[in-house]
Structures are given as C-alpha cells and as structure tokens.
Amino acid sequence: MKKICVVTGTSSGIGAALVPTLLEQGWEVFGIARREADVQHEAYTGVSLDLADLEAVQTYFDGGFLREVNLAGYGRIGMVNNAAALGTLGPQDTLSPGEMARVFNLNTIIPIWLMGFFLKHSQQCSLVIVNVSSGLATVPRAGLTTYCASKSALRIAGLVAAEDVENFEGYAGRAGNTAIVSYSPGTVATAMQENMRGNSTGTLPSVQRFVDLYEQNKLKPAEHPSREIAALLSRSDLPLHSEITFGYA
C-alpha cells in the first residue's frame, strides 16, 4: 500500500526527527518549513514555505501540491500539523495584535485549513491527521497567552472536524477511515523550551519550572515522541477523534 505523509515544521525539533522515522517505515514524506530540511532521500520532498503566510499556503496546496501529488494513488495519507511558534511572552497588555495574528496563522489557522484540505482530497483512502498539541492547550500559564490560546483553539478545532465528518453529507462514509489525533508530546528538548528558559520572571513568571526541567535532565529527545507519532499514523484502530499524550503505549 502506497502511503504519504505531509509534515509541517521539518527543519527542527519533532518534525525533523519524524522525517527519517517515517522514511525508514516506507512512507513518502512531504516536508514543509520556512527553512528546508537537509534530507537526501528519494522518497522525500522538501518545500520551503512560510506557513504563517495564509495566501502563499493556500496557493501552493491548491496549485503546486495537487499537481505534484496524486492523492488518489495512495492507500493511506498522513498529515502532521507540527509547526508552531511560541509568540511574544509577557502580560496581555504588552502583546502586539499583528504578532499575535501571525502566530495564530501558524499555530491554528493553517492547521485547521490543512485538516479541511485533506478531508476534502482524500475521500478514497485512509486518513490520519495528527495535530501536535501541548499541555498548555488546557493549562493556562502566565505570560503565554498567544501560545496557550492558539493551541487550545487547534484542539477544539480537531474535535469540531470530527463532528463535521459525522454530520455533513459531503463526508458520507469518511468516518470509517479517518482518525484525527490531538497528540501532546510532553516536555521535549526543542528550541521552544530553550526560548522559554531564556526569559525572566518579568515575562514568564514560571520560568524556573522550565529551567528545572532542563537542569534535572527531564526533557526527552525529539526522537521519542516522533516514534509515537509514526506509530499513530500507521494504526487502523483509532477512533474518529482521540486525545493522546506521550507514553500512551
């Protein structure tokens, strides 16, 4: 069975670790990031694209992507919404509307749009969508308004997407071969964690928590959650929607 997975944010962190894992398991991989990943493999296609640029993303997927990829030729399609930005940290009265909008474009709007895109264009095959979430999607933390809110919005959008599949005639028959997963990888050694550790209590009152995680060696390598995501993409027993945290197996 031919299978292809589109992964966003492949230039670093979980996205970068996921690419070789999928390639080893026989997936074709389409990696998308602002900085193209350094991957040399016949089954890998890298695309340099600013995922916060709404018009550019829609233009590419509606045009170039559909010309390059015949989705009808695959038995299984994976979509991993991994790319995300932290945004400016600090109290809400210090935040810029423009900067917040850009983060929401990347963290929320484009992932939602991509869910709809693949639901529309993969009617005849098995589809697994993994939205990389965070504990901060459900737990508020001072100074992290933009990140918490954008991740929370993506979480509920995944739940709504499942409701859409069950209730709109255009998705008739889709529920039986679709899985939408909100996956929380836990605390991972990424640039985002490093960014949070570099703040002061003036912008992130809980900064010491993130410093302690690092100093106590409690950050897991990105390869660990990437293996779990790859396993989820290959499963055929997932419900239409599920919320899964690292270590589920």
Count other Cβ atoms within 10 Å, centred on residue 217: 8
Q: What phi and psi values does residue 39 have, to the nearest 5 degrees?
A: -125, 125
172 has pLDDT over 90: no
Q: Which residue has the tokens 């193209």?
A: 36
**For the residues 24-30, what does the mean pLDDT come to?**
97
Report pLDDT for 38. Answer: 79
Task: Determine the residue type at 8.
Answer: T
Q: What is the 3-state secondary structure (H, E, C) of 89-100?
A: CCCHHHCCHHHH
Q: How confident is the model at residue 36, as a pLDDT?
A: 78
Say what the pLDDT of residue 249 is: 60
Any idea which of 6-10, 37-41, 94-98 has the lowest mean pLDDT?
37-41
For residue 1, the model assigns a pLDDT of 84
pLDDT of residue 248: 79
| Least confident piece of the model among 20-24, 153-157, 194-198 | 194-198
Sign (positive/negative) of CA torsion 98, 101, 107, 113? negative
Q: What is the pLDDT of residue 124?
A: 80
Three-state SS at 78: strand
Q: Which residue has the tokens 């790859």?
A: 230
Percent of the chain with pLDDT over 90: 90
Q: What is the pLDDT of residue 98?
A: 97
Contact criterion met (CB below 8 Å) for 21 and 223 = yes
Check if CATH label 3.40.50.720 holds for domain 3-187+223-245.
yes
| pLDDT attached to residue 227 | 97
Give the residue from 25, 48, 129 showing the smallest Cα distance to 81: 129
- Stretch 181-203: mean pLDDT, rounded? 94
- pLDDT tens per residue across span 108-132: 999 999 999 999 998 889 999 999 9
Phi, psi of 118 (to 5 degrees): -75, -30
**Does residue 174 surpass a pLDDT of 90?**
no
Q: What is the mean pLDDT of residues 26-46?
A: 91
pLDDT band at residue 200 under the 50/70/90 scheme: very high
Please give the pLDDT value at position 40.
85
Q: Mean per-residue pLDDT for 56-64? A: 95
- 3-state DSSP assignment of residue 31: strand
Say how far apart CA 138 and CA 133 lie, in whole Å: 10
User: So where are the chain's domains?
Assistant: 3-187+223-245
